[in-house]
Amino acid sequence: MSRRTADSEAGRGSAASRRRWTGVTDRSRSEGGRSLRSVKPTTDRRSGGTNSPSTYGRSALSISGVAVLTATKMADALTTGVGLRFVPAVYEANPVVDSLLSRVGIVTGLLVSSFAIVVAITVITEVASIAVSMRRRDGHLAPIVRLTGYGIPSALFAVVAVYNATIVVAGLRAVELF
What one-character-per-residue DSSP string does the chain give? --HHHHHHHTT-SSTTTTEEEEEEEEEE-TTTT-EEEEEEEEE-GGGTSSS-TTTTT--HHHHHHHHHHHHHHHHHHHHHHHHHHH-TT-----HHHHHHHHHH-HHHHHHHHHHHHHHHHHHHHHHHHHHHHHHSSS-TTHHHHHHHHHHHHHHHHHHHHHHHHHHHHHHHHHHT--
Tell me the mean pLDDT in the region 149-160. 96
Domain co-membership, 112 together with 70: yes
Domain co-membership, 99 together with 126: yes
How many CB atoms are located within 10 Å of the residue 129 CB?
26
- The residue count of the chain comes to 178
Q: Is residue 149 part of a domain?
A: yes
How many domains would you assign to the chain? 2
As a dihedral over the C-alpha atoms of residue 60, residue 63, residue 69, residue 75, rounded to 10 degrees, the angle is -110
Domain co-membership, 64 together with 34: no
Domain co-membership, 71 together with 95: yes
Q: Is residue 118 part of a domain?
A: yes
Q: What is the pLDDT of residues 28-69, one digit of tens each?
A: 444 455 444 444 444 444 444 444 444 555 566 688 899 999
Domain co-membership, 170 together with 111: yes
Domain co-membership, 27 together with 108: no
Domain co-membership, 157 together with 76: yes
pTM above 0.75, yes or no: no
Domain co-membership, 30 together with 68: no
Domain co-membership, 68 together with 142: yes
pLDDT at 122: 95
Of the two residues 3 and 156, the one the predictor is more confident about is 156
Domain co-membership, 24 together with 103: no
Domain co-membership, 91 together with 159: yes
Which residues neighbour 97 within 8 Å (Cβ) at sequence distance 6 or greater?
109, 110, 113
Q: Is residue 122 part of a domain?
A: yes
Q: Which domain covers residue 11, as residue numbers? A: 3-47
Tell me the mean pLDDT in the region 73-80. 96
Q: Is residue 64 part of a domain?
A: yes
Domain co-membership, 86 together with 129: yes
Give the highest mean pLDDT range of 28-37, 47-56, 76-85, 167-176.
76-85
